[in-house]
Homo-oligomer: A and B are copies of this chain.
Amino acid sequence: MIAEDDIIARHFAPLAGPGAMSLRDDAAILQAPAGRDLVITKDMLVAGVHFFADDPPDAIARKALRVNLSDLAAKGAEPLGFLLGLALPKGIDEGWIGSFARGLGADARLHGCPLMGGDTVKTGGPLALSITAFGSVPAGAAVVRTGARPGQALLASGTIGDAALGLRIRLEPDAAWVQALPEAARAFLLDRYLHPQPRLDLRDAVLRHAAAAMDISDGLIGDAVKLGHAPHAPADRAWPVIELGLLPLSDAARAALALDATLIETIATGGDDYELLISVDPAQAEAICAAASATPAGTPLTRIGALEAGDSPRLIGPDGRPAAFTRLKFEHTF
């Protein structure tokens, strides 16, 4: 048995940032820098739904923080800190907690996003955790979804579909395409599922050029539909047209697709990309791609289609003809 106070003192207090009062309080004080707005976001993750219970604890911690940092990146926000809510199953040992806290601390330092506080409780069910992350943007400058309009170009960061392919490798290790895939490609895709990369390096490019942005967590096509439909006024709403031949793919995803052409559906509709989906005025497309390339990480932005008035999402195949999938979005249902 480990006491909650000891867990906090030994494993989480070393991660605490200024204002967190060494986690010895129920609340923390946060000040947005002068002239900046605070951006807040919260994601909840449950073992068996958002990750595997036997994933390495440091990877679970990193993923939980990174999916929130990804939301901040989509707003153009610079991280300020985060709160951690952790529901631990019975019998979890201190080694697990130590590894979890070390992974969390490493990522918190990497992204300049210290722990501000939180709550650790017991659960009779699977591990569940919730992170609330805070960031800041110049006052009034946050990039929100409601800026989407018909006629804008759609861009995606990095490469699409890797994590969804990695998840399929976890779930169907004996599938023919998985068996035929080179080991290095398998490892790359598995890692892309386990360790999403929040695109914080793109935040200045997003702030300067984007009309609307979101991170791709539930599959590119479904999320593009969400982005197009975010505006409040029906006349402002748009549908995405996605050119499948333009999707930025990693070498590993290309290798998988060469083995099984139907994987394009997993690539375009699977979840967990945590890349940015950005809509821009077509006149800004070149500038935002150049701004992305100029960042230290040089994460590429690729034009993948557009938003149009229309009345349904459209897919265009690599041959330039309309394409159709069996499902267009990954929808969470209860």
A residues sitting closer than 8 Å to B (CB atoms) are 1-5, 7, 21-22, 24-32, 37-46, 48-50, 71-72, 74-75, 77, 83-88, 90, 92, 97, 116-126, 128, 130, 132, 134, 142, 144-146, 214-215, 217, 226, 230, 232, 331-334
Contact = CB atoms under 8 A, between A and B. Distances in A.
Contact of A124 (B30, B45, B125, B142): B125
Contacts of A332: 3-5, 120-122
A83 B333 contact: no
B71 A27 contact: yes
Contacts of A72: 27
B44 A38 contact: no
Contacts of A1: 333-334
Nearest to A84: B42
Contacts of A123: 46, 48-49, 125-126, 128
Copies of this chain, how many? 2
Nearest to A218: B4
B83 A49 contact: no
Nearest to A229: B24
Given A232-B22, A334-B7, A46 B128 contact: yes
B145 A85 contact: no
Given A128-B123, A144-B21, A31 B38 contact: yes
Given A122-B46, A124-B125, A128-B46, A117 B27 contact: no
A32 B214 CA distance: 24
Nearest to A30: B38
Contacts of A46: 87, 121-125, 128
